[in-house]
Structure 1
């Protein structure tokens, strides 16, 4: 409460007094002073602009704004967004890729670029933010409450990325920047690199008396990522299933397999952004914007893995000695000797090429009180991916001493030298039925849309204007995959020509020593016979989805006074959405694969929304939002792929099957939001928010009645009806999501003049849910993907006289993460809490200096080398959780310069 008064005491700061900051908020229709009049730079400029966006929005939003042209406050879009209240990111391969909003995974969030829905390079709807260079994004706004005129919204929230508008920039602006990058692990395996670079350039200018604006930006990324990985496979007491394991005590749980590897991946991304803006008069405003990026990644993985369960190879593996540790009242084998294991040495190479394009053309026409707008857009994402794995190993079983921790960390296995070219053979050491496997896939996601809208300003004391509009979009997503096996001649083990070998890869961090290392693609044509070999599961990876969506919306904008001290603004409106969806896929029948075409559904949704802001004119805002929301289901759940059969009982035949659900309908919810905010100073505020979402529908795997029309094959007893049963993702009972969020932005000068230049950002959120993702009666330990009960972020910074420094920490509670698994499948894993630190130091040369416009920057990401950790439950159903994955990615060092003129 005392902070505004303290601000007036800090008379010699370079901040405006608190009462001036308060006047920066809209007080009445005809009197508005905005925060962009405050001449601050760097992180304070970013914070001030973000605070202004939050303050002036009719919805409950969070925002990130650039510190300058092409300079977001973090090195990636995901990093910048994930520091906002109620948001966090999921690390994939060591870097931020997807965003979780209010405890829900990326599949529940809508993502827009310049207000237009974006496609995804992933296998569903969740956008992967590493496709968007931070240098080409000017700001990001996250809508936590819906707005009727916002098309493409999500259930958890909507992320709108915006590129620069050149006519909003004063004068010509040219910015170039470059950074060198290095990973602290060094070069851990041949083929990869431990250093890279980032380069970008932006040009903004205005012509023809500021009626034409041009902006062009390019960004190049060459980034190394390194990984040291260990994983325990599964834990069980197999004696209870009639399969003792030698010296293992009969009452003890034991680990049944393990793996360790290193990965080195080089990522290259080229991005370009262009904007042409034309505003010849106050009546016509036209903006044409384009974005394109190409992303390529080459990944090398070398490691060792094995199974030691009692059923493998007719019980070839056993314990010859075993020591146990009491773990929550149960003995667990943690050290001893395993006899007969046959580790497979993996040399894998994974290639990925992504292409992402987005184009939009918007025209606004004003005449009197009316504004008409027309918008055309196109977005396309293409992913070509190839994964190759090859196998090697020694002949015969090995006796290995081991020591396994029951806390997160690397284990130790006393393996012999697995890098010798005279004792390690190319072979199928684990009996997988082939000597190598390659999968090539292609995925194309295309979205075309047009939009017509109208706004009329009203001379009304309550409704200031209204909007109506219609948006039509057509989205198609198609995926094709081919699986190949690679076999040695006669499937006979072979030694590798020493001239084809590379320096051995060291797995010493997991106590496994060195392993044989080679380029698997170089060996593919020399040693292997490669042939197409697809299982029924592989055939069903090919499918196509088509969505036609029409959205009509109407919204009334509120701006009125409630007495002399309260200003009320906001909006009330609705969306009417008509959806028509179809899918193609492969149906597996007793007579062979068959194409399934045109199966789908059509349905309508009416989504009302209300946003109210009570502005008390002294920096206090009370916000209220209520809405009905929806999020379309996962795309890969909607494929018309199926295993189909006919069950005959008592002479009666009935259809049955399992697969995707092209008739799947959206997740639907009713939501209520409340936020109390206090603004003091251009870059300071405090807010407390609460939300409640009642999900009327959630998607579970269920057995439901199904119309099998279109699934035809010969059967001795034909079904009398096309209605049967089908196990598939289906809409079922929902539950609640609820939580509270606290956020604070504070400049030190508001507390005391000696703290001028210091500041902090902090937020913490708590979220809980009653939804069991396995459906009613499912596992009591499962939570919906992405839900961390507590998420917190904190940044402390100092910025004065050209010098800047900041330290940021990100924390999230344990959660159930969704990850890519073997053979392109998706898996859910219990991910432990994470706490990551990032540091940044910079210096901007003063205007009076000869080096005016030059900035120097040094950053360390993942300063504390926070590991990625997961846990897995025991397979005996005792409710015990054991360490599963433990992976480190190293620290990321960046040093560079930026020049603006």
Structure 2
């Protein structure tokens, strides 16, 4: 689909929306909380989400499940990409992940208003909670004093189903979905059952809900890559004055993940004024997969032949290694190479066998008390998040190969190893070390909060809000990375000569279309690496058992936070329908931490070994976070907003690790030594946020809105070097510091419209669309990114969709597109163009088309077919210059079918 045409279609739909007549019934107030609505259809869900946006005191966009266990997308992160201002990425397992709001990833995630996180991180891995458990999602883009602090970008609140969401009596619902991946060529599934009941109990009523789900996702994601551009004047002879890739290769991530989940909730309305509730959640994430590498070390060969230069030529300072150098290095006149043959090359394969596990436990409860003038909620919660990752890596190689390379073959590299030697299991030798990357984390938090609202009979002040919150969080992290080299000469021992089982070398589970014409290769057996690690360690001359944790990477953290807020809601009536209202408040947050780590003095022990010294630090900080907002409702359909809020995001525990790794001091205190580590003195990142909106609501379910935003961030965490004196010696310490600053501004347009005025049959049609312009700039003086856009942020992205709901048919087709962006910074060494201070891995624009078509077989049974990424959108990146591609990553297409039953 042409993205320009799609954007025109979306803009046309919004223009129609703005021109459509409003209906008189819109003057009536609409519900403020979509979760108080029993949502049973696609249009009803969009209408409920619209009402949240319309009646909120803040800038909020929402998603409401159109039925039990049915978000409008296959995952939470996938659903979020439909919201204006939210950008996402496709992960290694072909699932949408890593949402950012308006260019920033520092997001506070809550579950039913309670902070939730993964491991020792500040953020939440959305893949850890299956979409089947979610009843709705609110994305807060502006802030107020009553929201938990911790998200510079905003707050994402996920909501589980509760028994009082349903009518009295017994409700039973079940859903199941199977889907097939075009690339993985495997079928995956998800399924769940929800049982809820409400019944009278004395003067009140009770409700109990249990929801269980389980899913298995099989995946394969092929990637083909060129390595860093390099001057061939500094490599094997035969390609004078050309720039060619240092290496070429590819990977496939192949395996599966599973998600078990169960949540339960109990609600008891003792009287109309008093309710108590208890709820809990367990959700798990299990992943077992292998990253299978195929690789050619081109510049380690002995000659280059058949080299062909392209027309993209430039001059640059080049250092002795063949990379972009300094102004004192010689200038070379170079052209980007188009193709070449590399001879005498080592060709390698590698298996990275991986197991990942996350367990999340949430338990909470509280009391709600409502009278005509007072509304109080006390909530207590406990969360524990345990995470572990295990990676075992073995590399093997073959010598003296010949590799034909096309640098740019329609946006990607193409590699052919003559004779396809890696497709034969014989002749491999061991290369490099047995690498073990192991880590585990455990974090828990107790939290207690009291929120109160008092209605005030005043001409201006209508509500007074106040609240307090206390949280106590502890986290621990343990890690080690590395391993022993293979004994004997480097790359000199045959795999077949050391007594390993015959199936140690196995055919790769998947292939890569752009490498060796899509043939499979042989690589170490991932199951053997994971299940027989001790045998491998013995082979490499290491003792049995996992290596000891690295003390300098280990840390323990304890963090206690007290927060209190006051906030007033005002309203000024301007005639029968017009009014001005808003919020003014402030939240004050005090945090105390104890951080324990270990410093290492390299070679500082009496026997010449490393000296390890425990380190403990106590820190504290206090922040005041004011906010103010105003809404002008000109008519029941038209309103305008303006918001200001100061927000904060705390440093990660990993950055706060007080441990340092220091060079051993010598006899001369005037010599500057080297060191690196964390920084317990980091401050929170702060942002001043400004938002303005214009919103027009019409019909039963339609609206159009436009929003502008501006963010000014300071104290962002970035790596920096400083001179410090420790025990009388001068050290040049590299550690994270509050040196970053940036600015963001942008415009968001969103709308949806249902064409009720069309003739019978066509009046079930609807359209929706969003468009975002995000203009960001790094303003940190001296930073390599100064003046550049924030990494990972597209300047433009949009969503355009068509909807239909009538005669039991529910259909939706949605196209999502984002423009190109700078993903990572390579630094000055990459040689893809003239002298420059920085070179980026740039990602090309990309779009995805999804659809679903459902039919109500009976009032209680719905069947649906759907497709994800049916246009086969792919990830393409390049080294600052499109003529020198970096990666192509093949995003899978999925086609599925589901059934939902509800009684």
Tell me which interval the TM-score lies in, with the shorter structure as reference length: 0.7 to 0.9
Tell me, yes or no, if the aligned pair for 2:798 and 2:816 is still in contact at 8 Å.
yes
2:427 corresponds to = 424
1:99 corresponds to = 99
SS, match of residue 540 in structure 1: coil
Question: How much does 1:377 deviate?
Answer: 1.0
1:876 corresponds to = none
2:244 to 254, 259, 266: 254
RMSD: 3.1
Question: How much does 1:337 deviate?
Answer: 1.5
Question: How much does 1:167 deviate?
Answer: 1.5
1:231 corresponds to = 225
Question: How much does 1:438 deviate?
Answer: 2.0
Tell me, yes or no, if the aligned pair for 1:438 and 1:486 is still in contact at 8 Å.
no
Structure 1 gap ranges (5+) = 9-16, 27-31, 188-193, 709-717, 821-826, 846-850, 874-878
Going from structure 1 to structure 2, the CA distance change for 1:817 and 1:543 (only over 3 Å counts) comes to farther
Does residue 694 (structure 1) correspond to residue 729 (structure 2)? The answer is no
CA distance in 2, matches of 1:33, 1:890: 39
Going from structure 1 to structure 2, the CA distance change for 1:413 and 1:836 (only over 3 Å counts) comes to same
Going from structure 1 to structure 2, the CA distance change for 1:136 and 1:322 (only over 3 Å counts) comes to same
1:217 corresponds to = 211
TM-score normalised according to structure 2 size: 0.86
Deviations 1:783-821 (A, max 9, x none): 32332111211111111111122111111122344799x
Deviations 1:337-381 (A, max 9, x none): 111111111133211111112222121234663333321111221
Does residue 147 (structure 1) correspond to residue 144 (structure 2)? The answer is yes
1:608 to 622, 626, 629: 626
Runs of 4+ in 1 over 6 A off after TM superposition: 1-8, 32-40, 532-537, 646-650, 751-754
CA distance in 2, matches of 1:6, 1:828: 44
- Map 1:182-331 to 2 at 5 A: 182-187=180-185, 194-209=186-201, 211-239=205-233, 243-249=234-240, 251-309=241-299, 312=300, 316-327=301-312, 331=335
SS, match of residue 237 in structure 2: coil
Query: Which stretch of the first structure deviates more once superposed, 196-205 or 565-574?
Result: 565-574
SS, match of residue 217 in structure 1: strand
Going from structure 1 to structure 2, the CA distance change for 1:350 and 1:781 (only over 3 Å counts) comes to farther
CA distance in 2, matches of 1:673, 1:479: 38
Query: Which stretch of the first structure deviates more once superposed, 219-228 or 595-604?
Result: 595-604
Does residue 543 (structure 1) correspond to residue 542 (structure 2)? The answer is no
Going from structure 1 to structure 2, the CA distance change for 1:893 and 1:410 (only over 3 Å counts) comes to farther
Tell me, yes or no, if the aligned pair for 1:51 and 1:685 is still in contact at 8 Å.
yes
Structure 2 gap ranges (5+) = 1-13, 315-333, 605-609, 827-838
CA distance in 2, matches of 1:148, 1:674: 18
SS, match of residue 78 in structure 2: helix
2:323 corresponds to = none
TM-score normalised according to structure 1 size: 0.87
CA distance in 1, matches of 2:150, 2:483: 43
Question: How much does 1:7 deviate?
Answer: 6.5
CA distance in 2, matches of 1:114, 1:37: 14
Tell me, yes or no, if the aligned pair for 1:410 and 1:509 is still in contact at 8 Å.
no
2:728 to 719, 722, 733: 719
Going from structure 1 to structure 2, the CA distance change for 1:705 and 1:203 (only over 3 Å counts) comes to farther
SS, match of residue 79 in structure 1: helix
CA distance in 1, matches of 2:282, 2:587: 31
2:453 corresponds to = 455
Tell me, yes or no, if the aligned pair for 1:114 and 1:163 is still in contact at 8 Å.
yes
2:583 corresponds to = 571
Deviations 1:244-274 (A, max 9, x none): 431112x211111111232212111101111
Does residue 24 (structure 1) correspond to residue 28 (structure 2)? The answer is yes
Question: How much does 1:622 deviate?
Answer: 0.7
1:336 corresponds to = 340
1:660 to 678, 684, 687: 678
Question: How much does 1:488 deviate?
Answer: 5.5
Question: How much does 1:638 deviate?
Answer: 1.9
CA distance in 2, matches of 1:37, 1:362: 18
Question: How much does 1:570 deviate?
Answer: 2.2
Going from structure 1 to structure 2, the CA distance change for 1:705 and 1:113 (only over 3 Å counts) comes to farther
CA distance in 2, matches of 1:131, 1:90: 16
2:811 to 801, 805, 813: 805
- Map 1:711-750 to 2 at 5 A: 719=728, 726-732=733-739, 734-750=741-757
2:364 corresponds to = 360
- Map 1:59-138 to 2 at 5 A: 59-93=58-92, 94-105=94-105, 108-121=106-119, 124-138=121-135
CA distance in 1, matches of 2:73, 2:461: 40
1:884 corresponds to = 886
Going from structure 1 to structure 2, the CA distance change for 1:467 and 1:651 (only over 3 Å counts) comes to closer
Tell me, yes or no, if the aligned pair for 1:278 and 1:286 is still in contact at 8 Å.
yes
Going from structure 1 to structure 2, the CA distance change for 1:272 and 1:595 (only over 3 Å counts) comes to farther
Going from structure 1 to structure 2, the CA distance change for 1:626 and 1:753 (only over 3 Å counts) comes to farther
2:849 corresponds to = 837
CA distance in 1, matches of 2:381, 2:34: 32
